[in-house]
Amino acid sequence: MKKAKKILAIILGLSLVMALMASCAKDTGNDTTRGDASTSPADTGTSPTGGGASSGPSGGDSYDIGFQVWGAGVPILDSFGDAVEWCLTTLGHTYTRASDDFSADKELQNAQNFIAAGKDGIMIQLSAGPVLNQVAKECAEKKIPLATYITIGDDPDIENLSKTNEYWVGACDSQLVLDGELVAQYALDAGCTKAVIIGGNIGDNSQDQRQNGFTRVFEAGGGTVLMAARCTDNSEAPAKAEDMLAANPDADCLYAMVGDYVEGSMLAMENLNRTDKIKVFMSCVDATSAGYIKEGKILCGNDGISLGAYIASTMMVNFLDGHPIKDVNGNAPRFSAKPIKVDASNVDTYLEIFYSSNPAIKPVNQKMLESLLWRNNPDVTYQTYLDLLDKMGELSYIAEQNGF
């Protein structure tokens, strides 16, 4: 009997040790080595604060997110990816970042690599609209949540996914038509009557919407849009801007629909000695063009396009936490950020917030992000998002949130 009791004690002890080992193995299952979507090691980020089992709104799991940018090396696109990267690391998650190299095929390939790697969620800055449905289908099959940000896909596809795909998280872009409409009003208020437009290629949804919005409001206000030059990339801007301005000697204003085309347009105006005769306006202000606003070379512009990266990141975390944000109809939401006017009166504040060297100062800082997360704010709703997006249409509100 004594020997039997000793054997039984040994068996029980071994069982307890095996159970503890299994528990530890489960708790360390979140690493960043599960796939890199053909990116370099530098593209895989590890948060110093990630991990931990979910314990309600005040805690939460650390997730491994794969996210894509349309291309690398273009400052504005790099800034979109940097925003997602900052959100994920700040909130305690890991990531793998991939560039789609301006290719629809690479956009699909990167997403499929993320799916094969078993990422917890996937976020895409989707510039190749037809890719969306294929990726969404494959994500749903593997039960991987999918969100798009900034360039988000075609409206009919998004609406259909919101109603039919349970792994569709939602999307956040900016109000692109309103971008153009507001710039048109800036130009009209400045006394302009004859406009030319320059921007990205025809078929680029963001550029088409801005051009349509500008044209409608400018012409309704008594102005005339003389010509629009659309470029494959910014290397074409100097020649196309010069040809357009030479063909329209009476143009009194130029609308650059994105910062990429500002410098080429400035060069064209200098070559034609038209710098003092044409007022320049723009959308999608960046650090370089903000400098031109400070110098008075650009009258004013608007921005806010990067806000979609911050908002979509919080949508993904809420979904993975089991508390997805739903609109009033119970569907995955599509949010749009309001344009923020940037002119001589606030350009310094804009640069201090959107291009700050201080990692704590952001258009949507950590406190603002956490107000949108169920794990930090159990009362967060669809309306919470709408209210914050409305307030962020004013740079003064964002400045106040950053202690300015």
Chain segment 214-227, per-residue pLDDT in tens:
999 999 999 999 99
Residue range(s) defining the domain that contains residue 327: 63-174+305-338
- Domain stop point among 276, 303, 330: 303
Q: Are 95 and 64 in contact (CB under 8 A)?
A: yes
Same domain as 217, residue 206 = yes
Q: Is 349 exposed, middle or buried (0-12, 13-18, 19+ CB in 10 A)?
A: middle
The closest alpha carbon to 377, from 56, 53, 47, belongs to 56
- Band (33; pLDDT cuts 50, 70, 90): very low
Residue 237 belongs to a domain:
yes
Q: Are 168 and 87 in contact (CB under 8 A)?
A: no
Percent above pLDDT 90 for the chain: 79
Q: How many domains does the chain have?
A: 2
- Band (233; pLDDT cuts 50, 70, 90): confident
305-318 confidence digits (pLDDT tens): 999 999 999 999 99
Residue 230, pLDDT > 70, answer yes
Q: What tokens does 104 get? A: 């629809």
The domain spanning residue 321 has which CATH number? 3.40.50.2300
Give residue 129's pLDDT.
85
Q: Say which DSSP state 245 is in.
A: H
Same domain as 147, residue 106 = yes
Report the chain's terminal Cα–Cα distance, integer Å: 78
Same domain as 293, residue 184 = yes
- Band (23; pLDDT cuts 50, 70, 90): very low
Same domain as 239, residue 154 = no
Give residue 225's pLDDT.
98
Q: With the C-alpha atoms ordered 173, 215, 264, 128, is the resulting torsion angle positive or negative?
A: positive
Give residue 59's pLDDT.
59
Q: Are 318 and 359 in contact (CB under 8 A)?
A: no
Calpha distance 119→67 (Å, rounded): 10
Percent above pLDDT 70 for the chain: 85
Same domain as 189, residue 137 = no
